[in-house]
Each structure stands twice: as structure tokens, then as C-alpha cells.
A and B are shown apart, each in its own frame.
Chain A
Amino acid sequence: MKENIITIEHVTKRYPVGEGEFTALNDVNIQFRKGEFAGIVGPSGSGKTTLLNIIGSLDSPTEGKAVVMGKNISELNHKDSALLRNLHLGFIFQVYNLLPVYTVFENVEFALLLQNKTVTERKKAVMESLEWVGLGKMANKKPSKLSGGEGQRVAIARAMVKRPEIVLADEPTANLDSANAHAILKTMKTLNKELNTTFLFSTHDEKVMGYLERMVHLEDGKVKQDEIIEAKKTE
């Protein structure tokens, strides 16, 4: 039995809207184990991204407890939550969020700079990471010179370069064509198997769902269904 690395207990998240409140998550209970390739799926406004942001310690629950890598997100100060993100979490965004003035190499290297790795360590890790995603020869290009698929692969390399325990991918294929989406998902699946990294997606893209081993269905901020589909995939 693999250990739980994400535990969500009775998490509720409310946002002020005008004079009232909007409940994005409503008493959500869920756990994720190390090495899972799972997705939080549901229509727009169901609370997927909010849950992902809470797991990524970019946001905190209004009520309840979110424990990631043994840390209670609500109890972390800015510095500790930055440390958690820096050491244990990788992010992949829908619009890639590559830093436009940096080269591909520098974008991927960024997380390692924050970890004070030496130049040699950084170079080795970045090139290895770029090889994983098949962009070893594009290290010196600027993001503006990349296609959408290449940009997202750089984002994956950036998320993976520090070997995080968890990668949080928010609609990673939303801006990609079908071929690129499949290529990206295959790459992530391979990394999941080879490095035992937990991948957690927020998506409503059926292409992504086809690769997931577990789907947590959210609707109106509540978990409607928690579906293990590994067996179906294997078939």
C-alpha cells in the first residue's frame, strides 16, 4: 500500500463575491497516493483549479485541512509554502507560463537556481530534463520561437527538473492540438512510471481522461465520484 502524500479533509473554500460569497469547494474529502496519475475532472466552475491551487499551497482552504507532503497548508507561512513548492511541487499551466525573456535552458534552470544548485548540477539536470521531453537541441531558443507543443514540453521539463514528488497540471492540453496533446500526455505518463512522480491534473479534456488511472469528479465544489480506472486502461 503506497503512502498518502495529499490528504484533503472537509475542505471548503469560499470567495467573497459582491456582498455575498461563492462556494468553490464544499466539504471535499480526498487522498492521493504517491505515484498516482490522477485527474480532477469536471465542468468549468466545478472547483478543479481551486482544489489544485490549495494542494499547490498557492491558496488555502476557508475550512478544513489540506495536508501535502505532511504539511498542513493552512499553517504554512509564506516562506514555508514557497519552500514546499520549490522542493516538492512542480506546476504545469494551461498557458505554459514560460518566462519570455529567458531561453528554454534558463526557464528550466530557474527552479534549480532557487535551490542554490551549482552550475554543473544545474546544467546536468536541465539537459537531462530537456532530453526527457525531447527538446535537448532547443536549449538556447527563446519561448517565442517555440510551437505550442514545444512550449508545454518546456513547462513539463521545468516542472520535472527538480524531481518533485508531485506535479500539478492545470488544463495542460487546453491550448494544444490533438497530436501534441497525446505526445505531452505520453511524456508525462512515462515520467510518472520512470520517476514515480505523482501527477495530478485538473481537466475536462477527454484526451487527458484517456490517460488517467484515477478520476475524481467534481461538481459544484463537491466530489461526485472517485473512479479508479487503471484496470480499464490496462485492457
Chain B
Amino acid sequence: MKLAFQLAYRNLIGAGLRTWLNVGVLAFTYLLIIFYNGMIDGWNQEARRDGIAWEYGYGQLLNQKFDPYDPFTLQDGHGILPIEKTENLVPVLIQQATLYPQGRMISVLVKGIEPNQVVVKIPTKLLNESGAKIPAIIGKRMAASANLKEGDEVLLRWRDKNGTFDAGNITIAGIFDSQVPTIDNGQIWVSIKKLWTMTELSQEATLFIANKDYVYKQRSGWFFKSQDDLLKNLNDIISMKKVSGSFMYLLLLAIAMLAIFDTQVLSIFRRQREIGTYVSLGMTRLQVVQLFTVEGSMYSLFATFVGSIVGIPLFIYIAKTGIGLPSMEGTGVPIADKIYPVYGLGLIIGTLALVVISATIVSFLPARKISKMNPVDALKGKIQ
């Protein structure tokens, strides 16, 4: 086998441009597969991180009657949890309302939250700092869609627990910048105490956000969703993305493998005299098959080398500076303006192994033909 590597190396280096074209295609494939998966992983990690930091905390305890996917449950989906049972939990009360910015009418969710909380990154402290009658904070998307800026007053109409409409001016105490649209689009954050007063739903909450010290105990009328449960949608989207991505990189891989296969098939026919010469010089058929197989797989090893020279500095640079993405507003998918790709060791080694193994297989298939070759015909270049 050492001989096969030695001769394959000489053959490939000696073949010049033909070798480097194949190596170039393979290295490009490597880099693209690793880059694409790195982007997905980077997005995945960033989205999970942001989701946890801004919305989910370490899980949520939800009122039994509340279904986050059914707006009809908002009216009754809240309840009271005795204060002694709310340790390490931040209460959030959610109510429907209508906002009237500049004469327009926008349906919103008013979310009451404890201003002193530190479980999620929403800057609720601003609610305490404002002297307004009803201070509120909103996300940048909401601010853009309602054309609101800090300090603006805007009319809000809501219903209290009896269904009676009430209305008042809220003051925008702050606008926060978050990549998580589900805490931003169509949402207004106010102090929960203020919302209790506004709705007369004193001490009531729709859900509680857990901090890292929270230990779940069964509570009647409430159910707990862990981080993983809450991130399921995101994980599903990422899995779908990975599946569609895998089609793309299988296609890329197939193109690269086709290049090697094509080269090797052509080699078997174009290099018949050479094969005959190898045999006449004393190589066994197995040694010739090994040589051609190793030649094919060596393309992938060269590509690893070339890909590393180009890819390592490129990927380090991209991982540091990130890649700007077009806006995905309105898709509901938490995605940052910039993605910082993550290149795990598993991804890199897995991709390299996949390409090397595939290259070896596609090289072996045509090389098998050599074992059936008649050396006399091969020397004459007669085999069709």
C-alpha cells in the first residue's frame, strides 16, 4: 500500500493541471459544505441563545387555559399562583388591546412584566425610570411599524376583566433592539402592576418565566414548558433547513465525485499502455487497482490540504466578522442582521471523512476494470 501512495503521489504531481483542476473542484466543495453548515450552526446557536436570553429564560410555567398558538385563549388563559410558589419566576400577564398611532388602528398584545426582573434581556427597568402615567417599552420592529419613537404618547384601548373597554395614553419609555420578533412585533411591554390596575386582574399572570434556579414542581392549573419544548419550533425550522441544505451539499458532492469518477474512468482507457507497462514491469493487478484507487482518493487529500490553506484563514475571518444577511422581517424567524458561523470539529472532520470516503469509492469502481484487463491488449491500447 505504501508503494501505491508513493506512485499515486508521483502520478498526480506529474499530471499537473488535470490534478489541480480536480483538487480545485473538491476543495471548493469542501469549503462550501463546511461554510454552509457553519452558517446553519451559527444561526442555530445564535437563535437559541437569543430565544433563551430574550424570551424563554430557563423555561416557562403557563396557565393551563392558555395556548400560545390560540389567541382565543388569551381572554381566560390567566390565573393566580400563590406568591410563595413564584420563587425564581417572573410573572407575565398578556392581554389584547388596540393601539391608535396617528389615527391608525393596530391590534396589539399588552404584556405586563415585573420591571425589576433580570431573567430576560428586555430592558424593563426603563418602566421604573419613567415618570409617565403608563410607561411602555416596545421593540424596534414595533416602533417601525407603528411609527413610534421614544417619548411618544399614543392611545391604547383595552378591556378589563369584566369586558368593559377602557383607554388611556401610554408613553414610550424605551425602544429595545432584539433579534427575537416574537417579543417585538405587535407587542407593548408595561409594568405588570400597571396592567393589573388597568385590567383589574390583580396578581394574575398568563405565564411565568423561570430563572436558572427554578425547580419545577407540579402546580394545579399550570404546566411547565422546558427550554427544549419552547425551542422546538426553532429546532424544527433548523432541521428543515438542514435537510434542504443537505440536498445542496449532496449535489455539490455528487458534482465533485463525478469529476473524480470521470477522470478515473478516462484514466483507465487513456492510460491503457501505462497499465500494460506497469504489469510488464512486474506490478500485480491488485497493485495496479490499488494505485488507481489511491490516486482517486488522493485528490481528496490534496483538496483537504488546499482547502485548509484557503479555508482556515477565510473561516476564522468570517467567524470573527460575521456575514450580513438581508432582512427577514415578518417571517417570525429569529435571525440576526449578522450571522457568525460556527465551525465545529465534528462538522469539519465529518465533511472531510465524507469526501475522502466518497472519493475512494468512486475511484475504486472504475479501477476494478483493470483487474479484468488483458495486459497484452492493454499494452497495445486496444481495450474499448
Give a binary string over B261-281; 1 marks a CB under 8 Å from any A CB, 0 the rest: 000000000000110110111
Query: Given A97-B273, A97-B277, A114-B3, does the pair A59, B282 have CB atoms closer than 8 Å?
Result: no
Contacts of B132 in A (CB 8 A): none
How many whole Å from A180's CB to the nearest CB in chain B?
21
Given known A-B contacts A58-B375, A114-B3, A78 and B277 have beta carbons under 8 A apart: no
Closest residue of A by beta carbon distance from B3: A113
Q: Which of A40-48, A79-87, A184-192 contacts B (4 or more CB under 8 A)?
A: A79-87
Is A132 on the interface with B (CB-CB < 8 A)?
A: no
A114: chain B residues within 8 A (beta carbon) = 3, 281-283, 287
- Whether B280 lies near A85 (C-beta < 8 A) is yes
Interface string of B101-121 (1 = CB under 8 A from A): 000000000000000000000
Interface residue tally of chain A, by bracket? Answer: 20 to 34
User: For the complex, what is the distance from the CA of A95 to the CA of B380, rounded to whole Å?
Assistant: 10
Interface-facing stretch out of B9-17, B54-62, B217-225: B9-17
Given contacts A99-B277, A106-B10, is CB(A93)–CB(B379) below 8 Å? yes
Residue from A58, A95, A106, A158 within 8 A of B279 (CB atoms): A58
Query: Is B73 in the interface zone, CB < 8 Å from A?
Result: no
| B1-34 interface (Cβ within 8 A of A) | 3, 6-7, 10-11, 13-16
Chain B: interface residue count, which band? Answer: 20 to 34
Q: Could you tell me if B10 and A82 are in contact, using CB atoms closer than 8 angstroms?
A: no
Q: Which of A82-126 contact B (CB under 8 A)?
A: 82-83, 85-87, 89, 91, 93, 95, 97, 99-102, 106, 110-111, 113-115
B284 within 8 A of A: yes
Cβ of A111 and Cβ of B376 under 8 Å apart? no
Residue of B nearest to A53 (CB): B376
Residues of A within 8 A of B379 (CB): 58, 93, 97
Chain B, 343-384, CB within 8 A of any chain A CB: 374-376, 379
A221 contacts partner chain B, Cβ-Cβ < 8 Å: no
Q: Which residue of B lies closest to A86 (CB)?
A: B282
State in angstroms the CA–CA spacing of A110 and B287 once bound together: 13
A191 to B: closest C-beta gap in Å: 18
B282 near A85 (CB under 8 angstroms)? yes
Complex interface: chain B residues within 8 A of A99 (CB) = 274, 277
Residue of A nearest to B371 (CB): A78
Interface residue A35 (Cβ < 8 Å from any Cβ of B): no
Q: Does B285 contact A (CB under 8 A)?
A: yes
Give the distance in Å from the alpha carbon of A115 to the alpha carbon of B314 in the complex.
45
11 more contacts with CB within 8 A, not counting A79-B286, A91-B280, A101-B13, are: A58-B279, A58-B379, A78-B285, A82-B284, A86-B281, A97-B273, A97-B274, A99-B274, A101-B11, A101-B16, A158-B281
Q: Would you mind naming 10 contact pairs between A and B with Cβ atoms under 8 Å apart? A: A59-B374, A78-B285, A79-B286, A82-B279, A82-B285, A87-B282, A89-B282, A91-B280, A93-B280, A114-B3
Q: In the A-B complex, list the 9 residue pairs whose CB atoms are closest, starting with the nearest.
A: A86-B282, A101-B14, A82-B284, A97-B277, A85-B282, A91-B280, A58-B375, A114-B282, A111-B281
